[in-house]
């Protein structure tokens, strides 16, 4: 449908609109949502250790002695 709308478009904006709509729909259908990650930025070491004990824990990233990023896998898809 978008291909026929692109051929009937009267200006460049309409052509690009339908092209981008095709690309976005294709991108969303091909997206792997299993690879999404929750990241929490923390300043408290004790809270980071509690999150690291969970089953969906993935990894830690230390940016500074007061800033930690905890990478968590999604529990629901």
The tens digit of pLDDT for each residue in 25-55 reads: 887 788 787 888 899 999 998 999 999 999 9
Number of domains forming the structure of the chain: 2
The per-residue pLDDT for 77 is 67
- Are residues 49 and 73 both part of a single domain? yes
Q: How far apart are CA 56 and CA 59, in angstroms?
A: 10
- Percent pLDDT > 70 in the chain is 97
What residue numbers bound the domain in which 75 lies?
A: 34-77
- Are residues 52 and 77 both part of a single domain? yes
For residue 57, pLDDT beyond 90: yes
The per-residue pLDDT for 54 is 93
Compute the mean pLDDT over every residue in the chain, rounded to the nearest whole number: 87
Question: DSSP letters of 27-57?
Answer: HHHH--GGG-EEEEEES-HHHHHHHHTSTTE
N-to-C CA span, the chain: 30
């Amino acid at each position: 449908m978008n291909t026929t709308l692109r051929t009937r478009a009267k200006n460049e904006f309409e052509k690009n609109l339908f092209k981008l709509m095709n690309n976005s729909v294709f991108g969303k259908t091909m997206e792997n949502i299993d690879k999404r990650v929750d990241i929490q930025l923390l300043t408290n070491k004790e809270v980071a250790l509690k999150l690291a004990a969970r089953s969906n824990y993935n990894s830690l990233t230390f940016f500074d002695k007061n800033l930690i990023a905890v990478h968590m896998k999604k529990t629901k898809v």
